[in-house]
A and B are shown apart, each in its own frame.
Chain A
Amino acid sequence: MTRRRVRRIVEFVIERVLFLSATGSILITAGIILVLLFETAAFLSEVPIAEFLFGTVWTPLFFDKHFGVLPLVTGTLLASGIAMLVALPAGLMTAIYLSEYAPSSVRRTVKPVLELLAGVPTVVYGYFALLFVTPLLQSVLPGLAGFNALSPGIVMGIMILPLVSSLSEDALRSVPNGLREGAYALGATRMEAALRVVLPAAFSGVSAACVLAVSRAIGETMIVAIAAGQQPRLTLDPRVPVETMTAYIVQVSLGDTPGGTIEYRTIFAVGMLLFISTFVLNLFSNWLRERFREEYA
């Protein structure tokens, strides 16, 4: 009788402990939001929000301080945009090739090898961008500076390529064969079946993968911190040094900036902007996947 009661208490305690661990994950999100909010509020009490969001000069580390975040935003968009120009077409074509054309033996070897690309530490890509891709590009484009947005953008695209190809390929392959066979029966070539039947049918998964790729590019840090330079400038020229939001956070962290100063708070304000952008994109990606999901019996 008593043993059974002890047993029941133990069961109850264990369940509570497990439950607490599970709710701990919510505390992480709460922690992120609170830390960012706290420091950003302190920052915005000194700098008007309009100046932060719409100012075009970013020099918080200089004697003559300006807090306009737009140069960091354009730097981020430029590098991510170049990455998307590489990752989206190449990733989608890879996915279509592997899912619709390649024999299954090829797919089984190529897919894991491509996923190795996703497992390479980002600092290695930074090295590759700065010391291999930039010199290579300079031999073709003489006007290219040693630090620029083009080379890290391309390398970032290669890093994100397996994310796009892997998720899109899963989506394409979940389209039932009956649809393909229907298209072939109507005389479609494989390209016509892939582009006009399979791709539209897999729209939700493929578009969700693309949005996720954008979010990943915006948050990527080390490649741009190493190879894009650290000069915030309002430009869309991919040949000159720029600075992204993430690279700015790294730049300040490398210096010895004491807590509580305005320079210290800028990284949290920039981090808040970064967190909101990636969060919205992730939600959008989820929404695409849920909203347009096609159920095939």
Chain B
Amino acid sequence: MTRAVAGTVGTIGTTRARYARDWLFTSFGLLSTLLGLVALGALLYDVVSDGAGRLSWQFMTSYTSRRAADAGIYAALVGSLFVIALTAAIAVPLGVAAAVHLEEYGGRGRLSRLIEINIANLAGVPSIIYGLLGLGLFVRAMGMGQSVLAGSSTLALLVLPVVILSTREALRAVPNSLREGSYALGATKWQTIWNQVLPAAFPGILTGLILSLSRAIGETAPLVTIGALTYVPFAPDSIWSPFTVLPIQVFAWVSRPQASFAENAAAGILVLIGLLLVMNATAIALRDRLQRHTR
């Protein structure tokens, strides 16, 4: 640190010049901060102004079509909800179990350390690589085809590291006195976890789960890679059905040159953003409610 401070001694320039530079620097910092905010505003304005006119009950309840004006988002909306529900059913038990092991049982052994490094690294793998894994493993090797099940399995692997990390965070926030009190009353380790730790950590775990699932709902690349279809004029009715999801439908419409399809894409984005808002608002509401109950 001494070296860095000593550097200031060498600064040349009058006091006034130094304060002018400071002022310039501050304005530049303020401008940079505004850049992000302005970009977010421009993005929302652009999507709303392009898509709001197209949003209607007919749009929500129609299947896609080769004619832009008849096309709707129904198949993609049902597909997204179906895929995300199945993703949750796969990723949540696995992720929570893994987090409980790492946080409550995890020794300081070499294996636990390896698992931890591995999970941190998995969280940084690009999502399209998970798509290649899903294509090679679920679609081809396990013969699931381009089905809802293959899509959900792929997304489950993608969100698993995030689920584990956020659940561990929530478990860590449970005070140790709660565990010790339970042991003192003669409870076993699992009884303590099941009856005390998990209920106390539940609001935190739930928030983390909803936030990781809302990330999965916006994912496009891995599902395109496993071969999810871009033109699906029917809603999926079983885990073996072919499917499409909201972001893929948006991608398909954006890729067409006609302006009328761009309007559809913008309206589709509004539906997607609406869904994300509903999920996030639910997460916040549930957390507040449950926290009041447990305290």
With contacts A28-B160, A246-B128, A271-B128 known, is A222 near B33, CB below 8 A?
A: no
B196 at the interface (CB under 8 A from A): no
Q: Which of A38, A131, A182, A194 contacts B46 (CB 8 A)?
A: A131
Distance in angstroms from B133 CB to nearest chain A CB is 5
Distance in angstroms from B130 CB to nearest chain A CB is 8
Within 8 A of B (CB), among A74-112: 89-91, 93-94, 96-98, 101-102, 110
Q: Which of A35, A121, A192, A274 contacts B8 (CB 8 A)?
A: A192
A259 contacts across to B, CB distance below 8 A: 140
Q: Interface on chain A toward B: helix, strand, loop, or mixed SS?
A: helix
User: Is B128 touching A127 in the complex (CB atoms < 8 A)?
Assistant: no
User: Is A186 touching B8 in the complex (CB atoms < 8 A)?
Assistant: yes
User: Is A122 touching B128 in the complex (CB atoms < 8 A)?
Assistant: no
A60 at the interface (CB under 8 A from B): no
Size band of the B side of the interface? Answer: 35 or more
User: Is A249 touching B128 in the complex (CB atoms < 8 A)?
Assistant: yes
User: Is B126 touching A221 in the complex (CB atoms < 8 A)?
Assistant: yes
Within 8 A of A (CB), among B155-185: 157, 160-161, 164
Q: Which of B29, B124, B125, B262 contacts A97 (CB 8 A)?
A: B29
Nearest-neighbor residue (CB-CB) of B130 within chain A: A32
With contacts A226-B254, A250-B221 known, is A21 near B32, CB below 8 A?
A: no
B29 contacts across to A, CB distance below 8 A: 93-94, 96-97, 101
Q: Which of A36, A97, A250 contacts B224 (CB 8 A)?
A: A250
B125 contacts across to A, CB distance below 8 A: 32, 219, 275, 278-279
A286 at the interface (CB under 8 A from B): yes
User: Is A127 touching B132 in the complex (CB atoms < 8 A)?
Assistant: no
For chain A, the count of residues having a C-beta within 8 Å of the partner chain is: 93
A58 at the interface (CB under 8 A from B): no
Q: 15 pairs across A/B with beta carbons < 8 Å?
A: A7-B188, A18-B101, A24-B98, A28-B133, A28-B160, A32-B130, A93-B31, A101-B26, A123-B251, A158-B35, A196-B8, A200-B1, A219-B129, A254-B224, A274-B129
What are the 8 tightest A-B residue pairs by CB atom distance, in nearest-first order?
A219-B126, A121-B218, A97-B29, A35-B136, A93-B32, A18-B101, A21-B97, A221-B221
Instruction: Identify the A interface with B (CB < 8 A).
Output: 7, 10-11, 14-15, 17-19, 21-26, 28-29, 31-32, 35-36, 38-39, 89-91, 93-94, 96-98, 101-102, 110, 113-114, 116-117, 119-128, 130-132, 158, 161-162, 165, 179, 182-183, 186, 188-192, 194, 196-197, 200-201, 212, 215, 218-222, 225-226, 246, 249-250, 253-254, 259, 267-268, 271, 274-275, 278-279, 282-283, 286
